[in-house]
Structure 1
Amino acid sequence: MVIAALIVAAGSGIRAGGPLPKQYQEIGAVPVLRHTVQAFLDHPEISQVQVVIGKDHLPICQDALSGLDLLPFVTGADTRQGSVHNGLSALEPYAPDGVLIHDGARPFVSPALISNVVAALREHTAVIPALPIAETIKRVTRDGTIVATIDRDGLWGAQTPQGFRYNAIIEIHDRAKRSEHRDFTDDASLAEWAGIPVAVISGERQNVKLTTSEDIASADARLRQEQWAALADIRVGHGFDVHQFGPGDHVTLCGVRIPHSHGLVGHSDADVALHALTDAIFGAIGEGDIGVHFPPSDPQWKGAASSVFVEEAVRKVKALGGLIANCDITLVSEAPKIKPHLAEMKEAVARMLGVTTDRVGIKATTNEEMGFIGRKEGMVAYATALVRLPLR
């Protein structure tokens, strides 16, 4: 039986707040939609994955799902029903026997649940996962007053993926479109309207649909906890760097240009903070120092932005299956003043490391006018980085 997956991700996703629709916001440092799509791509019983996206979402969708083996994206409609119809129509050339229709904002669908829906679809024309309602159900007016208590006996909450024989569900969608019935909120409702029995199998509590900002935050925390629990090899690296002052009108620290009476002398942009941080990360994974990977004798690094060095160190950590947990940087110099630029510096480093700003510490102090630092001849940076790797 050839089974296709149809992922519906055409909604505006505005109820979750944030700068992006909810399906493109990150949980566990990965877009919600990528988690969802990957679950079906990885499943051995799914032959094709078709994603339906919003009409203005192509650039962010391409970014979120880059590198995945997917059918060409399909643009959705004004309603969920219309979006599903567009996706089903796009699947017609592939002639699947069955299709699993799934919400793009349900990233925790398990391989077992997908298998169970596929197995039930071999016996039924339509099947959905669902869970019995456990809470007492109240009917409430718009002003917040209870008007009735609903008997919850026999009430179930529907989930996705909802499975259908392809020929049956596309024919039902065609009929509904011709008859101008366009207010169905899920595909099982269309099957009921068409008189097709819908089998119900047990859903999963974890298979939640992310809707609000609280849902996104909770999902992110859950994934990060799971991710960190699997990274039990904890490494600490230390970095140190020093650069002398020379001609110039600014210094670059943590990737931020800061006006100053002098510049820092170096082969690259002489970002003393990022050089120390790069050494700390390399040190945590036993990869030597910055000079090993980016020798000053190599002309390609002349004037280079030091963010390149940090990002390469992070890439090596990720190649080992790890992540950066946090970093702490201390700058020692009589001038310039760092405090006015701290927020921008923290944000820049957080982007390089792929962490939140609360995991980036940046401090500045003077040398009490002692030594070469006190004489304003140069600047020193110290950095530590905590790296988490899988146990080997």
Structure 2
Amino acid sequence: MYACVLVAAGSGTRANLGYNKLRYLVNQKPLFWYAFKPFYDRNYEMVLVVNPEDETFIRSYVPNDVKIVYGGKTRAESVKNGLQQVTEPYVMIHDAARVYIDETLIDQVENGLAIHQACVLSKRVTNTIYAKDESLKVLDRRFLYEAETPQAFITAEIKKAYEVINPQSTDDISQYQMVYNHEVGLVLHEQNNSKITYQKDIEQFEKEVENYMFKIGHSYDIHALVEGRKLILGGIEIPFQLGLLGHSDADVLLHAVAESILGALGLGDLGTFFPDTEKKFKDMDSKIIVSDVVKMMKNKGYKVSNIDCTIFAEKPKLAPFIGDIKQSISHLLDAPVEAINVKAATNEKLDSIGNLKAMAASATVLLIKGE
């Protein structure tokens, strides 16, 4: 339904890098990728407009279904070239240097396009603005708006608007208004959607990405041991005369694993998503719980760097099962088995664990931003 023309054909000379700033790597990804990914993750038809000398580099970072076309001498010519490849009924045009774009802003633009035939992401002007000719004149900022991208259109209309490029047009909306007099929707927001222009902008973005790159979570869980229940640890059934009591299958280890990830993401605890008051979670396989949490993690753009787990149990001896438990957790987390550590410890016959009345587990996870 939607397409995105991502304009990445500028020279970026003001960044003083000696090459196109959009190729600069931040956390092992080029700048343009941060503007590309939010649209691609929403299954947009993607058209990248690039310089010929950047094509090989850019192709190495994008999937094969992404269309790549060359830019023109001006931004308007570049947009026109990109629009020719669009087949979806609606299109957003976005500058690849606006790397702060996210799903929230895209949602807002989609909603704007549902109301208007064209719309533009924008902010109110809050500073005092002067117009200078023979004297200084203060402009009424109540009527001033800063245009950003994406700017969104019915594809057929914006293609028609670009049939003849008007040199007075400064962006896609102004080009559109040379042909159509439809009301243009202003999609107002207060987020950071700044454009990377200078080297200091790159440095600031780099700091923000690196500070946001890692997340750490920890959890501890304990369940009573009772007769008549299977003992499930890490998704593996362990032969034993006692099992763990709980609303679900009471896999204390997987509960700690799942909740440590929720904690790292700042999403609360297991009870938030899987309350023991809900009948649908009765006797639930905890592997399903972990799988659901992993989906949340991936939707946030994170993956497991490594996880360290400890099972606290007086009996049975768990050493023979540790390898299978690690393999199980590795599969559930979609992480290499080398990233999974599982230890077993007794409570030296002290307290409820030492007296075979309970079993506990803890997990500490490190999440990393990236694919």
SS in 2 for 1:120: helix
Change beyond 3 A, Cα 1:224–1:172 = same
State the shift of 1:20 in Å.
2.6
Q: Distance in 1 between matches of 2:303 and 2:212?
A: 19
Letter paired with 1:51: L
Letter paired with 1:48: E
Letter paired with 2:39: F
Letter paired with 1:209: K
- Do structure 1's residue 31 and structure 2's residue 30 form an aligned pair? yes
Corresponding residue pairs, total: 226
- Do structure 1's residue 170 and structure 2's residue 162 form an aligned pair? no
State the shift of 1:320 in Å.
4.6
Q: What residue is the counterpart of 1:77 in the other structure?
A: 72
State the shift of 1:84 in Å.
0.4
State the shift of 1:154 in Å.
1.0
SS in 2 for 1:159: strand
State the percentage of identical aligned residues: 26
Q: What residue is the counterpart of 1:155 in the other structure?
A: 144
Conserved 8 A contact 1:108-1:206: yes
Q: What residue is the counterpart of 2:367 in the other structure?
A: 390
State the shift of 1:147 in Å.
4.3
Q: What residue is the counterpart of 2:323 in the other structure?
A: none
Conserved 8 A contact 1:121-1:127: yes
Letter paired with 1:57: D
State the shift of 1:389 in Å.
3.2
Q: What residue is the counterpart of 2:353 in the other structure?
A: none
Letter paired with 1:167: A
Q: What residue is the counterpart of 1:131 in the other structure?
A: 123
Q: Distance in 1 between matches of 2:216 and 2:20?
A: 30
State the shift of 1:319 in Å.
8.0
State the shift of 1:197 in Å.
2.0
State the shift of 1:139 in Å.
4.3
Conserved 8 A contact 1:162-1:188: yes
Correspondence for 1:59 among 56, 60, 75: 56
SS in 2 for 1:59: helix
State the superposition RMSD in angstroms.
2.6
State the shift of 1:120 in Å.
1.9
Q: Distance in 1 between matches of 2:6 and 2:152?
A: 12
State the shift of 1:19 in Å.
3.4
Q: Distance in 1 between matches of 2:109 and 2:9?
A: 23
Conserved 8 A contact 1:137-1:150: yes
SS in 2 for 1:73: strand
Correspondence for 2:176 among 175, 187, 191: 191
Change beyond 3 A, Cα 1:147–1:58 = same
State the shift of 1:71 in Å.
2.5
SS in 1 for 2:91: strand
Letter paired with 1:123: I
Q: Distance in 1 between matches of 2:132 and 2:19?
A: 31
1:77-120 C-alpha deviation (Å, 9 max, x unpaired): 011111000000122xx2x1100111101111110111121122
Q: Distance in 1 between matches of 2:199 and 2:56?
A: 23
Letter paired with 1:219: F
SS in 1 for 2:193: coil
Equivalent positions of 1:1-392 (< 5 A) are 2-43=1-42, 46-63=43-60, 65-66=61-62, 68-91=63-86, 94=87, 96-139=88-131, 147-174=136-163, 176-177=164-165, 181-194=166-179, 195-228=181-214, 230-231=215-216, 320-321=304-305, 389-390=366-367
1:25-70 C-alpha deviation (Å, 9 max, x unpaired): 1233321111111111112xx431110001322122223x24x254
Which of structure 1's runs of 4+ aligned residues deviate more than 6 A?
none
Letter paired with 1:182: P
Q: Distance in 2 between matches of 1:135 and 1:198?
A: 23
Q: Distance in 2 between matches of 1:210 and 1:186?
A: 17
SS in 2 for 1:184: coil
SS in 1 for 2:98: coil
SS in 2 for 1:161: strand
TM-score by length of 1: 0.53
Letter paired with 1:117: V
Q: Distance in 2 between matches of 1:139 and 1:74?
A: 39
